[in-house]
Structure 1
Amino acid sequence: MWWPLVLLYFTLGVILVYSYVQWTRRKMYAMLATMSNPKSLPVIGHAHKFFNVTLADTLQYFGSFPSPVCIHMGPLPHVAIFDPESVQVVLNSPDCLQKMHQYSFFWVPRTLLCAPVHMWKGQRKALNPAFSSAIIGKIVPVFNKKCEKLMHILDQYVGKQQKDCTVDILKCTLDQIYETSFECEFNMQLSPDGEKTLDIFENFMKLASERICTIWKYPDLIYQWTKAYKKQLSCIDTYYDTILEKVARHIDIDKRINEVNEADNSTKKHNFIHCLSKYLRSQGPIPREDVLAHFCLIVFAGNESTAKTVSTAMLMLAMHPEIQERCYQEINTVCPGENQYISAGDAANLTYLEMVIKETLRLLPVVPVLGRTATSDVKLNDRHTIPANTGIVIGTFQIHRDPKIWGPNAERFDPDNFLPENVAKRHPYSFIPFSAGPRNCLGVRYAWYSMKILLAYIVRQYRLSTTLKLDQVKVAYGVLLALKDGYPVSLEKRK
């Protein structure tokens, strides 16, 4: 029989391939051996730790080991870091500017989120002016206008049962983005397109999250045959073909790209759509889907994190009435009157409200984990070096709750954590809700003004309460952090 011979050759082949891989990776394995190495399973490594659990639970498990921690997703090693010193090294290293491969699962490959470093540098330089202080000052009136509309919508919930207002807030921030970034007044708060956009984003992100936590779906050759791929494709096609094409036609993007005035230096002409048009023109002919991908990213990135943070802050204030009252007193002092316009200067002076938002982002960061790839060996300290071509996972959620950094009450909601004297005692990379270093969030200034003005309007108009307690809050599964039981609050109109 020839079967024993085939089996022998097959076994020898497997041994040879395994030996070759081990030999070529010997330097990498030696570096990883100096790190914490939790017990793993053959073939799948630590992939089972991601099954049917929340991302918070997974981070808590790996964060229980001394940082850095070696994580094996199948044959692919990753390094997870949970200490601010290592985070500072990674986020500022020119060899860690590349995003992890998993970012490609969001289907915007040539945008700021996950573009190769050489492409990202050009995009960042081109789009930076769109988020300058001068531009933010010009768009604050739009924030106010959309917030006033939201107040009329929220009035219908006054005196009724607890309500999760997240969808209404998401539509408000969506409205802000379309007008401030694209000069489109689509009235998303009342339009069916607003609801449609949110449904598309929710379904798409759920599928992307599942893929990130399911290692066999990583290879595109396999994933493109799954039902999940077809659903993701349907989501993106629907959004591109309906909402974003409507935006493109409204602003006549093709004409803008071809006729953008390079010599025009007025403030108005440095908004997002102008800067993007100028950049796209410099790239020569560019596929239509790439143009729409840039649109998609700015809408999603600017909408989800801002609205979810405001919803979470509302819930935190509802749980802590004494903190809510202090916010209300500050808002009344800085910008008194139920309907008074909140200027950029007013927003900057709402220092306690900012501390509340920061504490919200500390305890429940919308982006609980960051990912980079080391393109060369990166020395963290005298003991540990991250090998080249290794994925790096930064556990923001775990760092933000580390008792060694935040003290024995790290799980408690306390805005005083961000008093200047307390901030000065901590490592600057102990708090990284918008990432940090050269490849941090481009729209962080936009987000801060949007969140502060929106939350100020809400607290000024309504007294918030809830039956939910902080120790009852459960984190939902996903790449973006959400709450399993939503954000239920009761609204009472302030006298």
Structure 2
Amino acid sequence: FITYISDGQGSCYMSYLEGFRMWERFLLWDIRIGPHVNYCIVLLVPFNLDDVQKILDNCLEKDYSYKFLQTWLGNGLFLWKLHRRLLVPIFHNRIIEDYIDVFGTQGSVLVERLQGEVGRPEFDFGLFFAESNCFTETAMGEKMDVQHNPNTPYLRARNTVMSIINMRLFKPWLQPDAVFNLTSYAKIQKETGNDTTALVISYVLMLLGCHHKEQDQVYEELKSIFGDSQRLPTKEDLNKMDYLERVIKETMRLYTAEPLGHEVIASCTLPAGVGCAVLPFVIHRDKTIWGPDADSFSPDRFLPEHCAARHPCAFIPFSFGARNCI
């Protein structure tokens, strides 16, 4: 975890590269030590899929580390019994379909911005701004247009809070509230999100740029749906994007946007209250599950016939069980 102790601000790519190197160390532990690893004494890290399923099916309480997110997110995602029944219908397909035009419009704006970057050796995709526009317009009913005006009070406050949250997660001496509340960071946090969608899209674009055959297949699939039209996609169009869906799933397997999840065991064969860390990044690259080419990019792993024969916890980019991501 030494990589995360610094306050320095490097490139996003380098930060996540260092992060994935850390998860690769966990993968080596799985290979060399076995199906269970006790990490830092306080956490059990299961690698056996049956154990992972048992844990995620039976624990409803999040680990103590999630409390650092409550300042930003409130209790909505943490008070499971109270809010789950209210939140799930909001993400039903029928509701999401009403916002397809919003997603399409913001995607078109992003494409226009990217066209202006053609020929430059290095530039920021700006995917987070497109995602933020989609979120604020659909969830809040507010058109912020941060793709054209990224310097908004909301984004400045959000970035500040996320920096403080990440710092507390990886600096143990700032985790006790009694200590943290004495620092200037506590005041800043009172006065003022890891964005999985933007991350996944970034990784999709990176992998397609590195694998021209798969990129051409995605292009041909979209060309067969849209032709030369510039129209926005419809629900029917999305249902035809079979290969693109496999590409996205394979991307989430290799580059899991949330590579770590903390849970607290209520009972089972472990003492009550034991913390467990489920590592999708390690599970998604386990060669005993995905074969000797587990580190390779192969979207056809997600053909229906291959998925049907796979353990339900072999692919868990959104976690698993009652407390999975909605």
Q: Quick one: which of 191, 201, 208 aligns to 1:317?
A: 208
1:338-358 Cα shifts (integer Å, max 9, x gaps): 412201221122011011111
Q: Quick one: which of 192, 196, 199 aligns to 1:308?
A: 199
Q: How does 1:47-126 map to 2 (within 5 A)?
A: 54=19, 55-60=22-27, 62-64=29-31, 65-72=33-40, 77-93=42-58, 96-108=59-71, 110-113=74-77, 115=78, 119-126=79-86
What is the CA–CA distance in structure 2 between the aligned matches of 1:211 and 1:364, rounded to whole Å?
24
1:118-168 Cα shifts (integer Å, max 9, x gaps): x32221111222111111111111111111222221121123323331xx2
Contact 2:261–2:278, Cα closer than 8 Å, also in 1: yes
What is the CA–CA distance in structure 1 between the aligned matches of 2:176 and 2:274, rounded to whole Å?
17
Contact 1:204–1:232, Cα closer than 8 Å, also in 2: no
What is the CA–CA distance in structure 1 between the aligned matches of 2:2 and 2:246, rounded to whole Å?
38
Distance 1:357 1:364, change over 3 A: same
- Tell me, yes or no, if structure 1 residue 149 matches structure 2 residue 109: yes
Contact 1:67–1:83, Cα closer than 8 Å, also in 2: yes
Q: How does 1:137-216 map to 2 (within 5 A)?
A: 137-165=97-125, 168-194=126-152, 197-216=154-173
Residue 61 of structure 1: CA displacement? Answer: 5.0
Residue 317 of structure 1: SS of its match in structure 2?
Answer: helix
- Tell me, yes or no, if structure 1 residue 234 matches structure 2 residue 188: yes
Distance 1:48 1:155, change over 3 A: closer
Count of equivalent residues: 311
Q: Quick one: which of 232, 242, 246 aligns to 1:355?
A: 246
- Tell me, yes or no, if structure 1 residue 218 matches structure 2 residue 178: no
1:205-233 Cα shifts (integer Å, max 9, x gaps): 3433332233333322123234xxx3364
Which is higher, the Rg of structure 1 or of structure 2? 1
Q: What residue number does 1:391 align with? A: 275
What is the CA–CA distance in structure 1 between the aligned matches of 2:190 and 2:28, rounded to whole Å?
34
Residue 99 of structure 2: SS of its match in structure 1?
Answer: helix
Q: What residue number does 2:286 align with? A: 402
Contact 1:330–1:350, Cα closer than 8 Å, also in 2: yes
Task: State the AA in 1 paired with 2:92.
Answer: S
Q: How does 1:341-490 map to 2 (within 5 A)?
A: 341-375=232-266, 377-378=267-268, 385-442=269-326
Question: Comparing 416-425 with 215-224, which one deviates more in the overlay?
Answer: 215-224
Q: What residue number does 1:263 align with? A: none
Contact 2:60–2:323, Cα closer than 8 Å, also in 1: yes
Q: What residue number does 1:462 align with? A: none
What is the CA–CA distance in structure 2 between the aligned matches of 1:102 and 1:62, rounded to whole Å?
23
1:284-326 Cα shifts (integer Å, max 9, x gaps): xxxxxxxxxxxxxxxx37xx10011101100100000110000
Residue 329 of structure 1: SS of its match in structure 2?
Answer: helix
Distance 1:406 1:343, change over 3 A: same
Task: State the AA in 2 paired with 1:163.
Answer: F
What is the CA–CA distance in structure 2 between the aligned matches of 1:436 and 1:71, rounded to whole Å?
22
What is the CA–CA distance in structure 1 between the aligned matches of 2:212 and 2:249, rounded to whole Å?
18
Aligned sequence identity (%): 30
For structure 2, the residue ranges without an aligned partner over 5 or more in a row are 7-17
Residue 199 of structure 1: CA displacement? Answer: 5.0
Task: State the AA in 2 paired with 1:234.
Answer: I
Contact 2:27–2:286, Cα closer than 8 Å, also in 1: no
Task: State the AA in 2 paired with 1:436.
Answer: F
Residue 386 of structure 1: SS of its match in structure 2?
Answer: coil
Structural RMSD (CA): 2.4
Residue 183 of structure 1: CA displacement? Answer: 1.2
What is the CA–CA distance in structure 2 between the aligned matches of 1:91 and 1:72, rounded to whole Å?
21
Contact 2:164–2:189, Cα closer than 8 Å, also in 1: no
Residue 43 of structure 2: SS of its match in structure 1?
Answer: strand
Contact 2:5–2:167, Cα closer than 8 Å, also in 1: no
Task: State the AA in 2 paired with 1:333.
Answer: S
What is the CA–CA distance in structure 1 between the aligned matches of 2:178 and 2:189, rounded to whole Å?
20
Residue 44 of structure 2: SS of its match in structure 1?
Answer: strand
Contact 1:112–1:123, Cα closer than 8 Å, also in 2: yes
What is the CA–CA distance in structure 2 between the aligned matches of 1:164 and 1:51, rounded to whole Å?
25
Contact 1:51–1:214, Cα closer than 8 Å, also in 2: yes
What is the CA–CA distance in structure 2 between the aligned matches of 1:176 and 1:213, rounded to whole Å?
30
Contact 1:82–1:396, Cα closer than 8 Å, also in 2: no
What is the CA–CA distance in structure 2 between the aligned matches of 1:184 and 1:233, rounded to whole Å?
27
Residue 49 of structure 1: CA displacement? Answer: 11
What is the CA–CA distance in structure 1 between the aligned matches of 2:210 and 2:155, rounded to whole Å?
27
What is the CA–CA distance in structure 1 between the aligned matches of 2:163 and 2:45, rounded to whole Å?
23
Task: State the AA in 2 paired with 1:56.
Answer: W
Task: State the AA in 1 paired with 2:75.
Answer: T
Task: State the AA in 1 paired with 2:134.
Answer: Q
Q: What residue number does 2:9 align with? A: none
1:244-279 Cα shifts (integer Å, max 9, x gaps): xxxxxxxxxxxxxxxxxxxxxxxxxxxxxxxxxxxx
Residue 198 of structure 1: CA displacement? Answer: 4.5
Distance 1:189 1:164, change over 3 A: closer
Task: State the AA in 1 paired with 2:147.
Answer: Q
1:423-482 Cα shifts (integer Å, max 9, x gaps): 22321111100112111111xxxxxxxxxxxxxxxxxxxxxxxxxxxxxxxxxxxxxxxx
Give the structure-2-normalised TM-score: 0.87
